Structure 1
Amino acid sequence: MKLIIFIIMFNILFANENIHLTIESETHNNAIRSILLDKNKDLITISEDKTIKVWDSKNNKLKSTIYGQIDIGYVGRLNHAAYNEKINNLAVSGDFAQNQENYEMYKIRIYDMNSNKIYKTIENKNGIVSNLEFSSDGKFLVTGFTSPIYHFSIYETSSYKIVDDIKIVERYLPKRYHHFKLKIIQKKDDYLIITVSELGDIDIYSKKQKKFIQSLNIKQNITALYVDDDFIYVGFDGGINKYDVNLNLLKSSYLNLKNINIISKINEEKLLICSVKNCYTFNKETFNLMNELFKSNNSILSILQYDDNTMVSSLGQNDEISFIDSQSGKIKKKIINNSFKLYSLGLNEKLLGFSNNFDVEKFDTYIDLDNIKINKFNASEKLNFDTELPKNSHEILIKEVEEDQIQNRPTKLKVINKKDDSSYEISKTPGDGYMHAVYGLNDNFIISGSAYGMLNLYNSYTGNKIGNLIGHNDFISGIVKNDKFIFTSSYDGVINAWDLQKLKQLEEKKVINEWKAKAVAEKFGTTKEEIKKYSMQLYLNYGIDIYSIDIRNIFPTFSIYIINENEFVIWTEEGYFTVSSEKALKYITWHMNQGFDKEAIRYDIGKFYDVFFRPDLVKLKLKGDDISKYTDGLTVKDALRNPPPNVNITNIDDKNVETNDVTLNTDKDIVKVRFNVSDFGGGVGNIRVYQEGKLIKRIGNSEINKVIANVDTKKEEKEKEQKLKEYQYLALSKAIKGKELKINEQIMNSFDRDLNINNSGDYEIMVPLKKGLNQISVEAFNNTNTITSFRSTVNINANIPEKKAKLYAIVAGVNNFESSYGNELENLRYSVNDANQISQIISETKGKIFEDIEIIKLTDNHVTKDNLNKAFYDINQKASLEDTILFYISTHGKSVNGKFYLFPSNNLESDNLIEFNEIFTESSKLKSLNQVFIIDACQSGSANDIASSVYDSRASVLARSSGIHLLSASTSGTKAFENDKYKHSNFTYEIISALKNKEVDINKDNFISIIELSNTLKRQNTVEKQFPVIQNIGNDININEINSN
């Protein structure tokens, strides 16, 4: 039942597209609004980056991050917070919906900090939350509201039900945002709520008497409030007053300070008083300023007395946490946000210049969109960059309205239509980012970026908003374009690329506004459906308009996150990605909203690595190509319908493993590895165990359901296949001539297996070790085998004797076949000769490269599936981790229905055909970490795809002392040829020649390695226009010695 419910929930989420790819950071990447201290003396920070973070008091390291509902722009932003240690509850308010006219967006979440889970959500239909305060005993929560009517509410924390709601309507103008502050104090059997306002009002409300018992107006703009025991301190522009609870003025001091916004306690003798950017000590007895304690580059939003000697505040860019000495004002230490902020952006053809300073005259760093690299400019390079969009065309002119500006940026743009001399204004409000920070014109639309990552499209002829470009969460800093994309940058460190053609195709049209329809229905006492049914009549007869401009949400074609001047992550709109290095993975997560009253589910991008790490697809996307034909339309959102399980290696030889990637020591040559697999709702499919990057154990037999081909390789194959057709080469061939081979249809289905489903729980396997470091990794797929878990890894350092390396080889060649399939399959002439010559070369390496060599040679009628299986079995009884395995076969090959078959001599029955996947599976059972496969057969490039399904795009990075190498004679769609002149197949002849050629020894160590051989074969298109496919993963292997003479 749990599984069914979970899947339904995910389907609903995807119907609403309630999934966001977000930047992960150990620190906050936007302004910190509140800093609190919990009962364990751990710091709690609440930020505009829409997260709550808890910091360990012992080392100030991040303990946990709490994620909630988020959406575009300000939606999900957290504004105010309060904490009470008696009940260990955290109250947080924020902006939780798009429609600012609907005050239900301003909900209040209550967190149980024992579990960091949302315990309760307080619904709100009363206004914008401006204050949150717990009573000291934790029995009550007071919330202050502003706009449309100032009031505050009192909630009993046992149930969080409202017990009192107090409105003040006569003093304040409705629909205006007034600034209020409040505190709650306990006096005997009563609770007093003290409120102050920007209009100079001080009010004291008695909960017990349910009325205001004291009121006073000091005719000053009150900006700060602090309550200490029986005294009330209020700060205003230029001074501070002290009152008792009867509002008797006890002391007053006029200070040469503007905009006092914080009053707090340092100790019994001193207060801390802060203006916007400066903080001072204040003597409570003399009621005078003592000295300036410290100052900040930006507004000081929150400050907390951490202990007797230390204060904590957000300084710098407001996203840093500073620990400040209470006596000297010096900063003891900082928790610094090291994220790269993009302050400027430029474009020069295929080069995207960027900078973390505001100087757009020169860019020191750029991204080359062709080779996907970050580069530094040489001092001699002088390139001109476009840094903005035009603001003038032959039809449209954009002007700034100078009298309406914030921070020297316009809040209004005047747009003039030159054809008819008409004009209109485009205004920015707090709801869509305050100002036009960067903007420009492109034919039929105007694009404007502002605060909160708000990026909007407007019809250039009407001024109506027609699109929201969703992809940033901080201040938009740059907009540039080329002929395919508009590029935008933001302080969030992201560069987004938007498909220019899609933007041009947006049209202005009206649709029924659901919120308006609901409001009209409530007014007339009917249903929303009835109102929608008669919408046109309502408009024509009564002037009631329930229509609004259809504002489309547009997502980036691809995004680039700049981590620093060397590191980046690039992802496409479908979820395929590439990274500058594996460590860059930790910065990106998929955030799945679960509703306003639940924590979000987060998936590290590493969980999608095996399928969605596709540098080849990213490269195509950056060129503007459609990649759906390479992916069968699979997106990461599709995959998340069946999320992957979680895997953890739990112990080694009964020693607990506490963290991932830990190193353990042992004196044993074999250890017991235990790991746990937990279902996250998508089931458990194949489980795979790797040693030093080589697959050593597979639990479950289902095929991995992924797009396994590398697009770069596939495109190269197609080009080669096209060349082959053009040459129209007629020669002796291993492939079947004429018609397609008519193999019994049972071949296509006889090897298909049912969907594999494993179970959650503990698994245990024995793993042999080699001397030195052994890296063991475990991963598990979901039950559709589309997405794998993040690999759980442990390193085991084995202090055991080193073994001398041996070579075990299986060499096979078939000339004569039992069946010609009605004269459609010809016998071969030189396959046995191929096998004999390869065996001879291998045998000569004994004592030179390998201490010993054992060759199992099979030719003609000895080449059967059973004999090959026996050969693998025999080697498995002897081979150790240090040994090398070589498998060579020369025969016919055929790719059918995604499977690749090798033809044995007894090929009459389809059950006798050798599926390469079975050979690959058998080889994974061998302990040897180094393995070489040489397949000299038609269509043998299909074997490459099978290897790719096991050794993904990470394999070369993860493989350490293992090497898996696959050399195939031809692409998956072409033939392999024999040559009468050499009495060999073309492919094997090239191998034999290269192994004897000194020029192939690139590093001049007198050995030919498998990678040196591979590079030579890759460069050569043989005389007969045959195109090999090569895959090298991990460790290089020497395979022949070259005589230095």
Structure 2
Amino acid sequence: MMDGKNLLRRRGFKMKEVKGQKGVREVRVILGVFLAIVLGMGALAHGTESEKVFLRLDPGGHTAMIRSLFFFDHGKRLISASDDKTIRIWDVSDLRRPKLIRTIRGEMGRGWFGKVYAISLDPAERILAVGGCLYKRGNPLNYAIRLHDLKSGKVLQVLKGHEDVINALAFSPDGKYLASGSGDNTVIIWKKEGKGYRRYKRLKGHEDAIYALSFSRERLATGSLDHTVRLYDVKNAFRLIKVLKDHDDKVEAVSFSPDGRRLVTGSWDKRILLYDRDGNLIREFSKKETRPAALSFSPDGRFLLSGSLPDEPPFTCYLYEFPSGKVKAAFKGHKNTVSAVSATQRDGRLILATGGGKANEILLWDEAGRILSRIESVGTAIFSAAISPDGKKVGFGFTSKPESQNNLAPLEFSFDLMAMKLKKINSEKGLLRARDERSGLELSTNPLLSQIMGLYYPESLLEVKKGGNVLARIIRHDIDGYRHDCFGFLNDRFFISGGTQGKVFVYNLRGEKVAELVGHEGEVWAVAVTPDGKWAVTGASDQTLRLWYLGDIKDVNWGDEGVDWERLKKARPGTWKNWYPSRNEIASLRSSDPVQWRAVVNLLKAFYMPIRKIHPTLTLFPSKDGKEWVAWTPDGYFTGSSPSALRLIGYHINQGFYKQAKWVSFSQLYDIYFRPDLIKYKLENPTVDISKKSGLPSVNDYLLRRMKH
């Protein structure tokens, strides 16, 4: 086993020795081991997912991070995959007027279940490989790869063999092999056999998750969070040729030039490095202010396009001339991270596609940086949220203008929950923002200590203080939202915090998780709570505003004892046998810094202690121009600004992992489940089951019977 400090370095954390920080060394060591456990523990504390019908947005574009996109069919079509659990195929033959051809949907559930992290198309453009968090956590199918028929969407085959989620996929140029990179630190090579693929070889050696793959005719390159790239000989049974160790941070992008003679690698160290086919470093190709989140060559190999993952604006995608490295265009069309890029050529013209930004848009542009068209949702990310004291009105805004961590944007619209009316506003009068101070209590992040502890972000550590004394610290890690993006007190006993991946939790003053608010699928940027703590509203990058009833929350007490190691072991991942936290180190931390000890213990206990799940009472999707909106309850009842707005939403119906899901639009159920009266009743009686009042079968039962007959 590696020591904790090396583990933190392996994860890409920067270590600092700071005098006078009690318990910091112990926390760093413990967290180093713990984070290794977390990578495999992936999805604990998620109950059995029995739901088959889910109410989903379909607003004309993606509503969550775009993970992958590429041109095909000689550049006339484009395919994109997203955290919104959809794969969309676009006709871009008319660059000014792209059209959605179809959407591929697979098995999905709440939370991470169904998110698509990687796709790859075989050279014949018939088979689409799909990977991600495709099933229930802890189930082997969550680590599987689905092979779809591109034309019909039908699931042709399921490949099983990994022990963690799939982050990268790539077909070889001849279609003979498919490579899959996973969080289990391995690459599996699948070999074509008949009409399908079978497992051929597992490539080991990386010490962290694989996030990047690229084939040439003779080579395979694999990029990892362990800062290295490994180069394999395809023609010689994937023999390891060389390990490239020139980067100083995570490697999340690799790409061979179309002729296979050159390899480029992109890292969080903000550098693109250029190698020959055998892994000999030629030179530093580029170093910019942004991390190259993705790389794509033009078909003729004369240009290289990079994505953008900056520490702060501007969010710039660079188009380079190759191999000179001269910047052809610095594209600033997106206003946030761009993690998916593709380049093509049509009639001698270079066409670029980049996916990301605040609205998760796809932009088509030319080599001069001129935007040709936008593929985007009618909605956009929500950066601010507020609520009236009586909980009957909410406010929100789309424009990011950060004044503080809990005030990222002005309020631009309000929605009256009783009258069901949306209107533009110029004042925040009558609306309340998040409160990070109450009754002598204070909430604040501690960026310095977060960095010292080796956490992911400055906002990964939240502190509860009273009179200058720290009562509790709450650590966010990679499976519960990474950071505390927004937070506020419910009352004198509880507070709420939102983060990435749609994660929202209610905590008590001891830092224990009292409840998880399940619904968002994007980063939660804003929260607000009524003075009595009964209602909360959250806004997120998934373009929705969600209203939560919290009036019946009950406190928990996980006790003063330490971790129950046997319970933690039972909740272990398949990789548990490789990692085990040091009980002695945790015990020593208890005496040196009790607050830090409690933070680490709460972090571990959250994997086996029961945590209540709360679903939103109402979800609102407003268009960015404020002219249209739809709202719905978890029961499936809905309303909207007009019948035409109902095109923006529908029902996703699971058919099992081995089949493509079905889709039913709201308009098909308008006469039955368009019930603004029941929605108003639900808001007035949030704990009542409105299905019993309606006398109607649940949407789930109705649609399943309809499918059956």
TM-score, scaled to structure 2: 0.74
Shift of 1:254: 5.2
In structure 1, the residue matched to 2:398 is 356
The aligned runs of 1:533-932 (5 Å cut-off) are 548-564=608-624, 565-624=626-685, 631-632=692-693, 634=695, 638-643=698-703, 680-681=707-708, 683=709
For residues 445 and 63 of structure 1, do their structure 2 counterparts lie closer, same or farther at Cα, with a shift above 3 Å needed? same
Shift of 1:409: 6.0
| Aligned residue type for 1:386 | L
Partners in 1 of 2:258 and 2:514 — Cα distance?
Answer: 53
In structure 1, the residue matched to 2:24 is none
In structure 2, the residue matched to 1:447 is 496
For residues 38 and 522 of structure 1, do their structure 2 counterparts lie closer, same or farther at Cα, with a shift above 3 Å needed? closer
For residues 116 and 436 of structure 1, do their structure 2 counterparts lie closer, same or farther at Cα, with a shift above 3 Å needed? same
Partners in 1 of 2:474 and 2:129 — Cα distance?
Answer: 38
Do 2:678 and 2:690's aligned partners in 1 also have CA atoms closer than 8 Å? no
Do 2:223 and 2:230's aligned partners in 1 also have CA atoms closer than 8 Å? yes
User: What do residues 665-699 of structure 1 show as CA deviations (whole Å, max 9, x unaligned)?
Assistant: xxxxxxxxxxxxxx632x4xxxxxxxxxxxxxxxx
1:17 has 2:17 as partner: no
Shift of 1:438: 1.2
Q: Is the radius of gyration larger for structure 1 or structure 2?
A: 1
In structure 1, the residue matched to 2:361 is 320
SS in 1 for 2:707: coil
SS in 2 for 1:452: helix
User: What do residues 394-434 of structure 1 show as CA deviations (whole Å, max 9, x unaligned)?
Assistant: 6x543422322799862112235789x78332111111111
Partners in 1 of 2:688 and 2:247 — Cα distance?
Answer: 64
Partners in 2 of 1:68 and 1:339 — Cα distance?
Answer: 23
SS in 2 for 1:589: strand
Partners in 2 of 1:400 and 1:293 — Cα distance?
Answer: 34
In structure 2, the residue matched to 1:233 is 263
Partners in 2 of 1:505 and 1:633 — Cα distance?
Answer: 29
1:43 has 2:83 as partner: no
Q: Which runs of 5+ in 2 are unaligned?
A: 1-46, 309-315, 402-406, 578-604
Partners in 1 of 2:410 and 2:181 — Cα distance?
Answer: 49
For residues 180 and 619 of structure 1, do their structure 2 counterparts lie closer, same or farther at Cα, with a shift above 3 Å needed? closer
Do 1:56 and 1:63's aligned partners in 2 also have CA atoms closer than 8 Å? yes
Do 1:128 and 1:146's aligned partners in 2 also have CA atoms closer than 8 Å? yes
The aligned runs of 1:276-295 (5 Å cut-off) are 276=308, 277-284=316-323, 287-289=324-326, 291-292=328-329, 294-295=331-332
User: What do residues 115-135 of structure 1 show as CA deviations (whole Å, max 9, x unaligned)?
Assistant: 112222222333443321112
Task: Indicate which of 517, 538, 546 corresponds to 1:488.
Answer: 538
In structure 1, the residue matched to 2:447 is 402
Shift of 1:71: 2.9
Identity %: 23
In structure 2, the residue matched to 1:305 is 343
Instruction: Identify the range of structure 1 (555-564 vs 22-31) with the bigger mean alpha-carbon deviation.
Output: 555-564
Do 1:266 and 1:305's aligned partners in 2 also have CA atoms closer than 8 Å? yes
Do 2:59 and 2:378's aligned partners in 1 also have CA atoms closer than 8 Å? no
Do 1:151 and 1:167's aligned partners in 2 also have CA atoms closer than 8 Å? yes
Task: Indicate which of 67, 90, 95 corresponds to 1:55.
Answer: 90
User: What do residues 478-507 of structure 1 show as CA deviations (whole Å, max 9, x unaligned)?
Assistant: 2223344222222323222222322x2364
Do 1:513 and 1:548's aligned partners in 2 also have CA atoms closer than 8 Å? no
Partners in 1 of 2:295 and 2:635 — Cα distance?
Answer: 50
Task: Indicate which of 467, 480, 483 corresponds to 2:515.
Answer: 467
Partners in 1 of 2:678 and 2:301 — Cα distance?
Answer: 65
| Aligned residue type for 1:353 | G
1:130 has 2:167 as partner: yes
| Aligned residue type for 2:667 | G
SS in 1 for 2:679: helix
Do 2:305 and 2:343's aligned partners in 1 also have CA atoms closer than 8 Å? no
SS in 1 for 2:288: coil
Task: Indicate which of 221, 233, 236 corresponds to 1:194.
Answer: 221
Partners in 1 of 2:539 and 2:264 — Cα distance?
Answer: 42
In structure 2, the residue matched to 1:709 is none
In structure 2, the residue matched to 1:153 is 189
SS in 2 for 1:549: coil
Partners in 1 of 2:230 and 2:689 — Cα distance?
Answer: 64
In structure 1, the residue matched to 2:377 is 337
User: What do residues 68-124 of structure 1 show as CA deviations (whole Å, max 9, x unaligned)?
Assistant: 22333333221111101426111111123564x777633211111131122222223
Shift of 1:393: 3.2
Do 1:198 and 1:220's aligned partners in 2 also have CA atoms closer than 8 Å? no
In structure 1, the residue matched to 2:23 is none
SS in 2 for 1:426: strand
TM-score, scaled to structure 1: 0.51
Shift of 1:27: 1.0
SS in 2 for 1:301: strand
Partners in 1 of 2:125 and 2:652 — Cα distance?
Answer: 29
For residues 513 and 418 of structure 1, do their structure 2 counterparts lie closer, same or farther at Cα, with a shift above 3 Å needed? farther
SS in 2 for 1:640: helix
Task: Indicate which of 150, 158, 166 corresponds to 1:113.
Answer: 150
Aligned residues: 594
Partners in 2 of 1:572 and 1:315 — Cα distance?
Answer: 29
Partners in 2 of 1:228 and 1:344 — Cα distance?
Answer: 45
Partners in 2 of 1:145 and 1:580 — Cα distance?
Answer: 44
In structure 2, the residue matched to 1:669 is none
User: What do residues 998-1040 of structure 1 show as CA deviations (whole Å, max 9, x unaligned)?
Assistant: xxxxxxxxxxxxxxxxxxxxxxxxxxxxxxxxxxxxxxxxxxx
Partners in 2 of 1:225 and 1:518 — Cα distance?
Answer: 38
In structure 1, the residue matched to 2:424 is 376
1:27 has 2:61 as partner: yes
| Aligned residue type for 1:79 | Y
Instruction: Identify the range of structure 1 (426-435 vs 291-300) with the bigger mean alpha-carbon deviation.
Output: 291-300
For residues 274 and 340 of structure 1, do their structure 2 counterparts lie closer, same or farther at Cα, with a shift above 3 Å needed? closer
For residues 136 and 124 of structure 1, do their structure 2 counterparts lie closer, same or farther at Cα, with a shift above 3 Å needed? same
Q: Which runs of 5+ in 1 are unaligned?
A: 1-12, 525-544, 646-678, 684-1045
Partners in 1 of 2:216 and 2:261 — Cα distance?
Answer: 11
Partners in 1 of 2:576 and 2:82 — Cα distance?
Answer: 39
In structure 2, the residue matched to 1:144 is 181
Shift of 1:554: 1.1
For residues 546 and 102 of structure 1, do their structure 2 counterparts lie closer, same or farther at Cα, with a shift above 3 Å needed? farther
Do 1:588 and 1:605's aligned partners in 2 also have CA atoms closer than 8 Å? yes
SS in 2 for 1:641: helix
For residues 213 and 68 of structure 1, do their structure 2 counterparts lie closer, same or farther at Cα, with a shift above 3 Å needed? closer
Partners in 2 of 1:208 and 1:283 — Cα distance?
Answer: 27
Cα RMSD, aligned residues only:
3.9
In structure 1, the residue matched to 2:43 is none
SS in 2 for 1:302: strand
For residues 627 and 566 of structure 1, do their structure 2 counterparts lie closer, same or farther at Cα, with a shift above 3 Å needed? farther
1:182 has 2:213 as partner: yes
For residues 515 and 22 of structure 1, do their structure 2 counterparts lie closer, same or farther at Cα, with a shift above 3 Å needed? farther
Partners in 1 of 2:68 and 2:288 — Cα distance?
Answer: 23
Shift of 1:196: 4.9
Do 2:190 and 2:197's aligned partners in 1 also have CA atoms closer than 8 Å? no
In structure 2, the residue matched to 1:265 is 297
Shift of 1:45: 0.8
Do 1:49 and 1:77's aligned partners in 2 also have CA atoms closer than 8 Å? yes
Shift of 1:323: 2.0
Shift of 1:53: 0.4
| Aligned residue type for 2:274 | N
In structure 1, the residue matched to 2:118 is 80
For residues 606 and 566 of structure 1, do their structure 2 counterparts lie closer, same or farther at Cα, with a shift above 3 Å needed? same
For residues 376 and 334 of structure 1, do their structure 2 counterparts lie closer, same or farther at Cα, with a shift above 3 Å needed? closer
Partners in 1 of 2:541 and 2:650 — Cα distance?
Answer: 19
For residues 269 and 343 of structure 1, do their structure 2 counterparts lie closer, same or farther at Cα, with a shift above 3 Å needed? closer
User: What do residues 356-390 of structure 1 show as CA deviations (whole Å, max 9, x unaligned)?
Assistant: 1245685342122332212334x6x7725311134
For residues 513 and 470 of structure 1, do their structure 2 counterparts lie closer, same or farther at Cα, with a shift above 3 Å needed? farther
SS in 2 for 1:432: coil
For residues 474 and 16 of structure 1, do their structure 2 counterparts lie closer, same or farther at Cα, with a shift above 3 Å needed? same
| Aligned residue type for 1:346 | A
For residues 369 and 123 of structure 1, do their structure 2 counterparts lie closer, same or farther at Cα, with a shift above 3 Å needed? same
